[in-house]
Structure 1
Amino acid sequence: MKNIKKYITALGLLTAVVSCDNLQDLNVNPSFPVDVSAQALLPPIEQQMAVGLQFDNRYLGRYVQYFSNATTGNEWDRLGYVANNDQGGEIWKMAYFSIGLNLTRMQEKAIAEERHDITGISKVIRAWSWQVATDYHSELIDFDQAFTQRMSFDYVGQDKVYAEVLRLINEGVADLARTDGKVSATYAAVGDKMYNGDRAKWTKFAWGVVARNLNNQINKATYDPAAVIAACDKSLASNADNALINYNGTVSADSNFNGPQRQNFANFRQTDFMVRVMNGTVFTGAIDPRMSRILAPSIGTSETAPASAANPDPTKYTFVGNPLNSTASSTAGPSRIPNLWGTFVQGTPTTPGRYIFRDKANFPLMTYAEIQFIKAEAAFIKGDKTLALAAYKKGIDASIDFVNSNTVVSTTYPITTTITASEKTAFLANVNVVPAEANLTMSHIILQKYISLFGFGNLEAWTDMRKYHYDNVNIYKTMVIPTGSGLFADNGGKLPYRVRPRFNSEYVWNFGALQAIGADKVDYHTVEMWYSKP
């Protein structure tokens, strides 16, 4: 019996020794590998590029008056913020967590494997993420400290961020041009769901980031419109180059954040200003054909299901907008305002939705129309009105085509058709929309760009608004800027120019660094951006 016990004890010790040699295997989960390929990291990174914008677009939409809350008293409708809360913090999370270290790992893997195309893509995405984050927040974490083991992080000014974006773009474009090593469109396409491994399109996207970066600086003495135009000419060349994040829309997790299945926009209504820039109020009688496709019509005098489905009459609908911080026009009656899906009830998986507010709608990160409006703005500042007018007209044309590609045809309320060729031609021929060269104004350019970005390019629309310092006399005509009690109390009578860093990372763990840049002040969000100052 003693010998048996000794044998068992010895066997146990031997087993323990053998197990110790393979302890590392205990931490390996084949379903969730720790070491993955560069191509496998790319799809979730691209998805998070959209998610960061989508989450925060709900708040930016109020700042730029695309939409308002259906009830009064909302902090964002009053151009403020919610203290001690992560509302408005998703772009920060996207840059430093959701994309953050994953992008670093993807770049390291790509470099080690000589996948120079993926290395280039990673640098372009990083540049894009810094550009988005700084245009939203201003100061960012010092690049040498980000993604390290430090317990606190210092900030660098926006001028340094803008320079870093251009440095990364230059490196990324150079890597995308390489043909040595293991460059392979087929390999990259496995993970690249935005451009299918097409290096030429990624290069165009990169130059679009440059165009944004340079054109944001119109108030600087160093602003060079010729450099902006050159960047635009190297950027997106048609709607086929649009940077789109795709959604299947079958389940909530794979549905567009704007769509009815996700329920994120049930309490939002289009604003009165958004209606005015499309219903002929601002553009002197020119009713924009995109209005009935991207805005939600009120029932008006029309039936929800017309007597003749083959001959519906959408002209009987009315388009009403809700002012910021108001419920005056959104509660009842034939002129009550639907939500952005075109319904008066909560969304469901079977709700069709409208425009980009659909479960299966692709989400744009950048469009050809935007690039053309940037080119028009730069050419106008340069004094080349011929070029400005040509780019401006191309921008409207491309925007109409983009709207058509996202239009769900319906013969019941809300009745919707695609924009016909004759409608487009008539709109572009209207001198109140596309004037003679001598009559083109910056307001024309910025407001048509504003329309083209509705619902997805909220950050770019806000960037323009801050560049022109909320000018509602010369640029944003008829826009009503909140004042008095309509403005958030902590603003101190000022308008917002930045969004505070994410609460649950910075204000909880990095407060000392925030104090150094003044972000501990309640009106920090009203401090003007570096790019918008002379």
Structure 2
Amino acid sequence: MRNKLTAAVLLSAGLLSMTSCKKYLDINTDPDTTQEPSVSSVLPPILSSIPYGIQRDGVYTAKYVQNWNTYANGNADTYDRHGYSFSGGTQAYTWQMTYQMFGNNLNYLIAKSEKTNEPDYTAVGLALKAWVFQHTTDYNTDIPFYDAFKDGQLTFRYDTQETIYKAVDSMCRRALTYLDKADAMTGSKLAKGDFSYNGNLSKWRKFVYGVLARNWHHVSNKSTYNADSVISYCEKAMNSVADDFCIPFDATNNDNSNYWGTFRDNMGTVRQSNFIVRLLDGSAFTGVQSFNNRDPRISHMLSASGDTTNGNGGYRGVDPGVGDPYSAVTSGVNFPKKVAIAYGDSMYASPNPGVFIENGKYLFKNKAPMPVMTYAEMQFIKAEAHMRKGEKPKAYDAYITGIKAHFDFINRDYSSIRGALPIYNKNPIPTTTRDKYLASANVAQNFNVLTMSDIMMQKYIALWGWGFFETWVDLRRFHYIDNDPATGQRVYKTFNFPTSFASTNNLKPVYRVRPHYTSEYTYNLAELVRLGVLAQDYHTIECWFSQP
């Protein structure tokens, strides 16, 4: 009974310990099963759990930032309205990824590789641990860190977000030290377990610097913000789209297919937002919706409605808390005006999940890769950092490079990553088409007219559909509707709050996600009381990183 109880509590608390199995569960020791698996066999399931956390929770976070929203006409969706639902699994997958799926599996990988003198695996383990805790603290704010994996504990003390930011920085620096050791070794076996970078240590080093860039840049509102360090980290991070950190899918069955692909069919209730439509049809930048202002990326990223009479080629979106006014239309002249599902143009119904077909669009394909960090993102971070320093010419260079990098992101041949499919629609975007867009009114034409809004809205486009957690960090740093002091207009032009906030919000936007409901509210309640998590509007309290 003691063995079962201990294991149940650890699992319910989101803490699945591999290293403690023998201590507590030696009655289950199987002589035919490896008790100390190789690190090359532990890394693949850790990598594959990244989409598990990002994509499932991303369905909801994307609503907060208006990547997409619920389509049903007049549907008062909780997350469209910045609310929160007290339920076991909702918005809980990041927690499970961090404490269960990474958890002591990752700790084992780090400890085992140190013991066997495999610094390449140690470096990768530390890099991933830094990334996941950076991601999770930005999502949940205060979380268990130092207590998280202590054996024998039934409750776990939360650390402050400031503490975790410092720990992430420290883990990154340890990872770089081990990468130095790995560079000097021969016979690396990292490629055996690394299906994202295929054992390329140079790319892992760039990933670590990318984590540092995020870590140091997220605190842009503080007096301690160091733009020079942010710029330096960005310059040491991704150098091209070939360095983008992506997770591929084999897509041979349901379990190894893209969560947003047609077969798994998890996008059926949401539709692209009017905000992203305005960004890509040019009206958010120019105030005018016309074909001359249309971004060529729109036909690759968004799905067109059947109508072509609304001035932008049939591209429509939904508003949060309002939905699609034509969602209930089943026939007639207004039927083609319905907002299409993400899987394809003029596609209004979800595909039959019983038929494994490889259609879809952009990142919504069974075998499309899942981006986690990209070169374009690093360039926009660099542009903002230069802008904050008053170095507008350098900011402009990074801004233009970021836009070009996102075109390259769309055009990239992803087949080298386990045969992943391209994400462009039919054909890549020609360079002449890209350059025509760069010369349009959507893009600042020189550094003198460049604004923070130009940078942040182009970054929003580049992260749409995958980087919504970083977009949420950005929107919170700018308190959603802050004005650009240079223009007196909103940084995110035409971004509006939902027509009504959830009743639990006291008319405030969401800033954090509550801890895992099932484990923490059941087993760690005293700690939640200490932190004030039980307050009805806890999720609207501003995070440490965005405060001055």
**SS of equivalent to 2:285:** coil
Could you tell me which amino acid in structure 2 is paired with residue 503 of structure 1? Y
Could you tell me which amino acid in structure 2 is paired with residue 54 of structure 1? Q
Distance in 2 (CA, whole Å) between partners of 1:521 and 1:54 is 28
Could you tell me which amino acid in structure 2 is paired with residue 36 of structure 1? P
1:118 aligns to 2:128 (yes or no):
no
Could you tell me which amino acid in structure 2 is paired with residue 70 of structure 1? Y
Structure 1 position 509, deviation (Å): 1.1
Mapping of residues 412-423 of structure 1, within 5 Å: 416-423=426-433
Distance in 1 (CA, whole Å) between partners of 2:184 and 2:176 is 16
Give the corresponding residue for 1:262: 264
Structure 1 position 29, deviation (Å): 6.1
Structure 1 position 248, deviation (Å): 1.6
Distance in 2 (CA, whole Å) between partners of 1:203 and 1:376 is 21
Could you tell me which amino acid in structure 1 is paired with residue 246 of structure 2? L
Structure 1 position 281, deviation (Å): 0.6
Could you tell me which amino acid in structure 2 is paired with residue 477 of structure 1? K
Residues 336-375 of structure 1: CA deviation (Å, up to 9, x unaligned): 1111112222224215000011000010110000000000
Give the corresponding residue for 2:69: 68
Structure 1 position 254, deviation (Å): 1.0
Equivalent in 317, 320, 326 of residue 322 of structure 2: 326
Distance in 2 (CA, whole Å) between partners of 1:331 and 1:530 is 43
Could you tell me which amino acid in structure 1 is paired with residue 508 of structure 2? K
Mapping of residues 116-195 of structure 1, within 5 Å: 116-179=119-182, 184-185=187-188, 187-195=189-197
Q: In the superposition, relative to structure 1, how do residues 183 and 268 fare at CA in structure 2: closer, same or farther (>3 Å)?
A: farther
Could you tell me which amino acid in structure 1 is paired with residue 446 of structure 2? A
Structure 1 contact 354–407 (Cα < 8 Å) conserved: no
**SS of equivalent to 1:99:** helix
Equivalent in 335, 338, 343 of residue 336 of structure 1: 338
Structure 1 position 151, deviation (Å): 0.6
Could you tell me which amino acid in structure 1 is paired with residue 105 of structure 2? N
Structure 1 contact 113–182 (Cα < 8 Å) conserved: no
Could you tell me which amino acid in structure 2 is paired with residue 463 of structure 1? V
Could you tell me which amino acid in structure 1 is paired with residue 68 of structure 2? F
Q: In the superposition, relative to structure 1, how do residues 417 and 138 fare at CA in structure 2: closer, same or farther (>3 Å)?
A: same
Q: In the superposition, relative to structure 1, how do residues 213 and 272 fare at CA in structure 2: closer, same or farther (>3 Å)?
A: same
Could you tell me which amino acid in structure 2 is paired with residue 444 of structure 1? D
Structure 2 contact 147–157 (Cα < 8 Å) conserved: no
TM-score scaled by length of structure 2: 0.86
Distance in 2 (CA, whole Å) between partners of 1:78 and 1:29 is 53
Give the corresponding residue for 1:53: 54
**SS of equivalent to 2:281:** coil
Residues 201-235 of structure 1: CA deviation (Å, up to 9, x unaligned): 11100000000011111110000101100000110
1:518 aligns to 2:532 (yes or no):
yes
Give the corresponding residue for 2:495: 479
**SS of equivalent to 2:372:** strand
Structure 1 position 144, deviation (Å): 3.9
Residues 241-268 of structure 1: CA deviation (Å, up to 9, x unaligned): 0001011212111111111111111111
Distance in 1 (CA, whole Å) between partners of 2:133 and 2:431 is 40
Q: In the superposition, relative to structure 1, how do residues 387 and 330 fare at CA in structure 2: closer, same or farther (>3 Å)?
A: farther
Identity in percent: 35
Structure 2 contact 56–91 (Cα < 8 Å) conserved: yes
Give the corresponding residue for 1:81: 84
Give the corresponding residue for 2:370: 363
Could you tell me which amino acid in structure 1 is paired with residue 350 of structure 2? Q
TM-score scaled by length of structure 1: 0.88
Give the corresponding residue for 1:211: 213
Q: In the superposition, relative to structure 1, how do residues 153 and 26 fare at CA in structure 2: closer, same or farther (>3 Å)?
A: closer
Distance in 1 (CA, whole Å) between partners of 2:228 and 2:210 is 15
Structure 1 contact 506–514 (Cα < 8 Å) conserved: yes
1:345 aligns to 2:349 (yes or no):
yes
Equivalent in 452, 458, 461 of residue 448 of structure 1: 458
**SS of equivalent to 2:284:** coil
Structure 1 position 182, deviation (Å): 6.1
Mapping of residues 25-36 of structure 1, within 5 Å: 27-28=29-30, 30=32, 32-36=33-37
**SS of equivalent to 1:259:** coil
Structure 1 position 26, deviation (Å): 7.8
Q: In the superposition, relative to structure 1, how do residues 147 and 25 fare at CA in structure 2: closer, same or farther (>3 Å)?
A: closer
Distance in 2 (CA, whole Å) between partners of 1:388 and 1:260 is 39
Structure 2 contact 282–442 (Cα < 8 Å) conserved: no
Structure 1 position 299, deviation (Å): 1.3
Structure 1 position 93, deviation (Å): 0.9
Q: In the superposition, relative to structure 1, how do residues 63 and 149 fare at CA in structure 2: closer, same or farther (>3 Å)?
A: same
Equivalent in 385, 393, 396 of residue 389 of structure 1: 396
Mapping of residues 226-245 of structure 1, within 5 Å: 226-245=228-247
Answer with 1 or 2: which has the greater Rg: 1
Give the corresponding residue for 2:44: 43
Give the corresponding residue for 1:309: none
Distance in 1 (CA, whole Å) between partners of 2:385 and 2:253 is 43
**SS of equivalent to 2:120:** helix
Give the corresponding residue for 1:3: none
Could you tell me which amino acid in structure 2 is paired with residue 51 of structure 1? Y
**SS of equivalent to 1:177:** helix
Residues 476-530 of structure 1: CA deviation (Å, up to 9, x unaligned): 11112125xx211101111100001111111111111011111111111001000
Structure 1 position 321, deviation (Å): 0.4
- How many aligned residue pairs are there? 491
Structure 1 contact 124–169 (Cα < 8 Å) conserved: yes
Could you tell me which amino acid in structure 2 is paired with residue 44 of structure 1? P
**SS of equivalent to 2:181:** coil
Q: In the superposition, relative to structure 1, how do residues 335 and 214 fare at CA in structure 2: closer, same or farther (>3 Å)?
A: same
**SS of equivalent to 1:278:** helix
Distance in 2 (CA, whole Å) between partners of 1:147 and 1:240 is 39
Distance in 1 (CA, whole Å) between partners of 2:423 and 2:208 is 31
Q: In the superposition, relative to structure 1, how do residues 26 and 214 fare at CA in structure 2: closer, same or farther (>3 Å)?
A: closer
1:289 aligns to 2:296 (yes or no):
yes
Structure 1 position 280, deviation (Å): 1.2
**SS of equivalent to 2:533:** coil
Structure 2 contact 363–423 (Cα < 8 Å) conserved: no
Could you tell me which amino acid in structure 2 is paired with residue 521 of structure 1? A
**SS of equivalent to 1:56:** helix
Distance in 2 (CA, whole Å) between partners of 1:454 and 1:180 is 35
Give the corresponding residue for 1:491: 505
Distance in 1 (CA, whole Å) between partners of 2:186 and 2:502 is 52
Distance in 1 (CA, whole Å) between partners of 2:57 and 2:31 is 34
Structure 1 position 147, deviation (Å): 4.2
Structure 1 contact 355–361 (Cα < 8 Å) conserved: yes
Distance in 2 (CA, whole Å) between partners of 1:184 and 1:335 is 59
Residues 408-443 of structure 1: CA deviation (Å, up to 9, x unaligned): 676xxxxx5431211101011224313221110111
Q: In the superposition, relative to structure 1, how do residues 321 and 29 fare at CA in structure 2: closer, same or farther (>3 Å)?
A: farther
Deviates more, 1:171-180 or 1:217-226: 171-180
Equivalent in 248, 251, 255 of residue 249 of structure 1: 251
Structure 1 position 83, deviation (Å): 1.2
Distance in 2 (CA, whole Å) between partners of 1:145 and 1:283 is 46
Structure 1 position 180, deviation (Å): 8.1
